Amino acid sequence: MKTKFIFFIIILAIVTEGITTFVLNRIQQNISTEPQITSNNILSECTTHAVGHVHYHAQLTITINGKNFPVPPNAGIDAGCMHPLHTHDASGTIHIDYYKPHSFTIGDFFTDWGMIFNRYQLGNLLMGQRYSMKMSVNKKENHEYEKYIIKDHDIIDIVVTTKK
């Protein structure tokens, strides 16, 4: 009886170790391959258009049922603080300014703007039975949504339609 119990404990330990190794490897793969949303600490930093800073632009257009949904002027600018992702006007031009290279995502911009954006939601519009959404980058459909890393001169189009 005691031998069976010891044998059971050894088998249990081997199985547990195997499962743990498998799970940790999967987590590591996801961490290393999935873009992560930037921490709010970086998004809340103040920046300038200083010489030597990383400075580039992307164009964002949001269309809901055929109508332009404006990107607001001064999104990401408050109380004299210009955050790394911001707008200056309602043209949809996103300015990315930071003191060093960083992989900012379109989700970072929406977070700084204060609007929810992911594959399931844009603002208060929930995708599913009533709405559908497509995102394209440089005229190619893109399924990364909030995880898409913004590059210089990107043209990002988000289109939401009511399902019929």
Instruction: For 24-75, write each residue's pLDDT tens digit.
Output: 455 444 443 444 456 667 888 888 777 667 889 999 999 999 999 999 999 9
Shared-domain flag, residues 8 and 53: no
CATH of the domain at 73: 2.170.130.30
**Which tops the pLDDT comparison, 44 or 126?**
126
> What pLDDT digit, counting tens, does each position of 62-107 carry?
999 999 999 999 999 988 888 999 999 999 999 999 888 899 999 9
62 and 88, same domain (yes or no) = yes
94 and 56 together in one domain:
yes
Identify whether residues 11 and 53 lie together within a single domain. Answer: no
Say if residue 20 is in the same domain as residue 47. no
User: Do residue 30 and residue 97 come from a single domain?
Assistant: no
Query: Do 59 and 16 fall within a single domain?
Result: no
Same domain for 77 and 148: yes
* pLDDT for 106: 96
86 and 16, same structural domain?
no
pLDDT tens per residue across span 134-161: 999 999 999 999 999 999 999 999 999 9
Residue 57 shares a structural domain with residue 22: no
SS3 sequence, the chain?
Answer: CHHHHHHHHHHHHHHHHHHHHHHHHHHHHHHHHCCCCCCHHHHCCCECCCCCCEEEEEEEEEEECCEEECCCCCCCEECCEECCEECCCCCCEEEEEECCCCCCEHHHHHHHHCCCEECCEECCEEECCCEEEEEEECCEECCCHHHCECCCCEEEEEEEEECC
User: Which pLDDT score is estimated for 38?
Assistant: 62
The more confident residue out of 114 and 135 is 135
Instruction: Count up the domains in the chain and report the number.
Output: 2
pLDDT grade for 20, boundaries at 50, 70 and 90 = low
Its domain, for residue 1, covers: 1-34
Residues 107 and 132 reside in one and the same domain: yes
pTM, entire model? 0.74
Q: Domain check: are 29 and 44 in the same one? A: no
- Whether residue 123 is predicted with pLDDT greater than 60 in this model: the reply is yes
Looking at the predicted structure, is the pLDDT value of residue 118 above 80?
Answer: yes
